[in-house]
Structure 1
Amino acid sequence: MTTGLDGVIAAQTRLSHVDGERGRLILRGYELEQLARSWSFEEVVALLWQGLVSYPHDLPAALAQARIAAWARFAPLLPYLEGMSAIEGMRFLLATVPDQPAEATALLGSAGVAMAAAIRQAQGQAALAPEPGLGHAADLLRMLRGRPGNTAEVRAFEIYLVAAVDHGLNASTFTARVVASTGAGLASAVVAALGALKGPLHGGAPGPVLDMLDAIGTAPAAEAWVDAAIARGERLMGFGHRIYRVRDPRADVLKAAVGTLHGGRIALAEAVEQAGLKALARHKPGRRLDINTEFYTALLLEALDIPRAGFTPVFAAARTAGWIAHACEQQQTGRLLRPASEYIGPWPQAYQPDKVL
């Protein structure tokens, strides 16, 4: 019996392929590394949406207008975010977007504005309106931090958005496809996916990586700290992945992006990475546990001055493009996703499942 649906094929997709044995991520025929080198976020979104989603020819301009329209919708609602976490505030704002006539570009723009506004509100800061002359990555980073990014910062943030845009049939993407299969609409699919992402087993790992680095403190202390943590049976945050049996390809893309930024804790992170890999090889021989995307995601977002409580909403703003693509792909099948279950509870005395009464 497969309790977690591991290995069960629940959908056919043209969008992304996760090769866990060889550490490869393919997005519509392209290696992630190819896209991260030079593609803009809008170009990657257009690639994912090709043949699935109707969007204007000038997607950057359309997304800019979508952000402006989203701000007009969300600004009067911001006082209601009082007391909510950033991810809860983002969920609240997106839940106000109607399924009809919601369309993909408007929904992706709304996700970005909702993310930035909810993070700032949760930090006790005033949310900022979009600037239509900026690209999506540059505008989201400005709305998040309250100041524009320089060329290196915007490109690093854009690489993060590209690396996060889609990743096979993970829990939130599967949720989006299930909801889309009912005909509920794109906005409902995205809000449901966001609810799945909120769970710490799916979307909550990058922040604790920084907590671990805080506890270690300095590079010379890394080896002893890691050995002690493993001896206590604790999990090393940012190591291991449910799918990848080798290094997560997103980790190297994000590590390279962190390296373009000034400051940060890259030396400490590299020391912890090496200490962790050596310790895990000793304590868990025969089991390959390598760095995953959360490890250098944490370093990158911290270097960009994004608060830890905002890491999951930022991820959601990028992954919304993938959720939309999967939802539309599922809708094209015209098939309701309805898996079967095996009943293992007690039977009534007068009922015998192996007999016709």
Structure 2
Amino acid sequence: MTTTHDRAPETALIDVPAGLAGVAAAETRLGDVRGREGFFHYRQYSAIDLARHRSLEDVWFLLVEGELPTPAQSEAFADEVAAARVVPDEVARVLPAIAAAGAGRALLPRLRTALSLLASVEDMQPVWGTDPAFHRRDAVRIAAITPTVLAALHRLRQGLDPVPPIDGVSAAGLWLYLLSGSRADARDVEALDRYLIATVDHGFNASTFTARVAASAGSDVVSAVCGAIGTFLGPLHGGAPDRALDALDDIGSRERIGPWVRARIEAGDRIMGFGHPVYRTEDPRAAMLREMALTRGGELAEFAADVERQVLTLLAEIKPDRPLHTNVEFWAGVVMEQCGLSRDLFTPTFTVSRVIGWTANVLEQAQGTKIIRPSARYVGPPAPQPVP
């Protein structure tokens, strides 16, 4: 509906749904989420099929270059990424101070600081009016160095020295090695590789949209990524996997599942791990992660399955007009805990993959010339009024 509200016709506002739900704010070739089907894809390929059959580096190449790599291209891109993982001395010297600042354990605010320093050290330029080859270099650099910096900050917070990255391992194998300093179990690596690939990108989610807004203004790639990180920190976005496990802890035992869930639903509380702003059926990422978690087995996975069944049953009973399904966060937390990651590393692990999607979106947005600049409807007291 278009309404003027005493404005001149040329500045009339267009009312859209709250949160811009369903509004197409841009065009993209990177992928899409088809919520009613429970399907999402990276370019022309099913994201879940890619997670089962290709490496993270192959998917990364696909988003940046537009096609899956040949074996020769894959090898060359792996070499490029390996070189980009190394932290420069000017940043490495400051990481201990960044890690020690403040009492909290959260890594993502510290990552923002480190990446901002990296942008200054390497003189990263705005995407407006500069060679696209520079944007691509910066995008690969940022996505490649993020796990190295996050793991270094984590180890420094524990009083340990950072470990340098190694070659010849998968993305998940490298992430687990950077955290622990030793090679991980093959089952953990396989499960985490699939998780990382399945969470690289997911439509115009809040953090991706934030990155594209910054890029539309012509800002540098790091500024766009730091904006995305700030959005990602929200508990309704990237901060949900650990809260889903916190709910399992709060329930505690099988006999408490029904009463706990019913009380939360009737109180109108959000149950972390259920419901999604896009999917109207099961999140395909949740289905894949559930399969992996239950294949590995264990008390946590079995308890999570019991909780999931009762939550879905009670949601259907109490809110039959609003179908809610399991989302990625519920089973992501289970899988990451099975892989030995502490809960304060859940969102950083998510970031290791999603930064690839953010930077790919920044590169795509940088090809345009239109700044993203919506309007807000003023609903305060009428103006002008006399100043007292």
- Could you say whether these structures have the same fold, taking a TM-score greater than 0.5 normalized by the shorter chain as the test? yes
Q: Which residue of 1 aligns with 2:22?
A: 7
Change (3 A) 1:90 1:35: same
Q: Aligned partners of 1:41 and 1:71: how far apart in 2?
A: 24
| CA deviation string 1:159-184 (max 9, x = no partner) | 11101100011111011111111221
Aligned 1:1-357 pairs, distance under 5 A: 1=15, 2-51=17-66, 58-67=76-85, 69-70=86-87, 72-80=89-97, 81-82=99-100, 83=102, 84=104, 85-98=106-119, 99-100=124-125, 103-261=138-296, 263=298, 265-345=300-380, 346-348=382-384
Range that drifts further, 120-129 or 331-340: 120-129
TM-score normalised per structure 1: 0.90
| CA deviation string 1:206-226 (max 9, x = no partner) | 111111111222334423332
Q: Aligned partners of 2:294 and 2:338: how far apart in 1?
A: 10
Q: Aligned partners of 1:44 and 1:121: how far apart in 2?
A: 31
Answer yes or no: is the 8 Å Cα contact 1:119–1:309 preserved in 2.
no
Answer yes or no: is the 8 Å Cα contact 2:43–2:66 preserved in 1.
no
- Structure 1 stretches of 4+ with a deviation exceeding 6 A read none
Q: Aligned partners of 2:308 and 2:94: how far apart in 1?
A: 43
1:264 is displaced (CA, Å) by: 6.0
1:74 is displaced (CA, Å) by: 3.8
Answer yes or no: is the 8 Å Cα contact 1:264–1:302 preserved in 2.
no
What residue identity is the alignment partner of 2:283? Answer: D
1:110 is displaced (CA, Å) by: 1.2
What residue identity is the alignment partner of 1:9? Answer: A
The secondary structure found in structure 2 opposite 1:25 is strand
Q: Aligned partners of 2:281 and 2:47: how far apart in 1?
A: 16
Answer yes or no: is the 8 Å Cα contact 1:264–1:303 preserved in 2.
no
Unaligned runs of 5+ in 1: 351-357
Answer yes or no: is the 8 Å Cα contact 2:91–2:118 preserved in 1.
no
Q: Which residue of 2 aligns with 1:353?
A: none
Q: Aligned partners of 2:95 and 2:299: how far apart in 1?
A: 32
What residue identity is the alignment partner of 2:22? Answer: G
What residue identity is the alignment partner of 2:165? Answer: P
What residue identity is the alignment partner of 1:108? Answer: A
Answer yes or no: is the 8 Å Cα contact 2:108–2:233 preserved in 1.
yes
Q: Aligned partners of 1:219 and 1:340: how far apart in 2?
A: 49
What residue identity is the alignment partner of 2:109? Answer: E
1:325 is displaced (CA, Å) by: 0.9
Answer yes or no: is the 8 Å Cα contact 1:63–1:109 preserved in 2.
yes
Q: Aligned partners of 1:56 and 1:40: how far apart in 2?
A: 10
Answer yes or no: is the 8 Å Cα contact 1:251–1:296 preserved in 2.
yes
Answer yes or no: is the 8 Å Cα contact 2:173–2:183 preserved in 1.
yes
Percent identical? 40
1:43 is displaced (CA, Å) by: 0.6
| CA deviation string 1:21-71 (max 9, x = no partner) | 11111111111221111110001111111249xx9862222222211x226
What residue identity is the alignment partner of 2:287? Answer: D
Answer yes or no: is the 8 Å Cα contact 2:37–2:281 preserved in 1.
yes
Q: Which residue of 1 aligns with 2:129?
A: none
Change (3 A) 1:216 1:339: same
Q: Which residue of 1 aligns with 2:7?
A: none
Answer yes or no: is the 8 Å Cα contact 1:246–1:289 preserved in 2.
yes
Answer yes or no: is the 8 Å Cα contact 2:55–2:170 preserved in 1.
no
